[in-house]
Amino acid sequence: MAKKGDKRKIIGMVSTESGHRTYYTRKNTQNTPDKLKLRKYDPILRKHVIYEETKKNLGRNEVKPRKG
């Protein structure tokens, strides 16, 4: 669970070859402002490929205003 004021954001990792979002991780946006690229295993292609950072898009990274 993310703490209040935490600099870490949840990001999704998308395969450059198959386009599937298989991995999710957290990164400190203050220390690493550029997009993350990691070489990870793609279970669909069954080989190691480059995964690039994308937004998770589930609304957990953004702070929603309170009602009322």
pLDDT in tens, 14-67: 999 988 888 988 888 889 889 999 999 999 999 999 999 987 655 554 555 667
Rounded CA-CA distance 49/35 in Å is 16
Q: Tell me what pLDDT residue 10 has.
A: 86
Domains and CATH numbers, the chain: 8-55 (2.20.28.120)
Query: Letter for the amino acid at 25?
Result: T
38 Cβ partners below 8 Å, 6+ apart? 13, 50, 51
The confidence score (pLDDT) of residue 4 equals 67
pLDDT at position 51 is 93
State if pTM tops 0.75: no
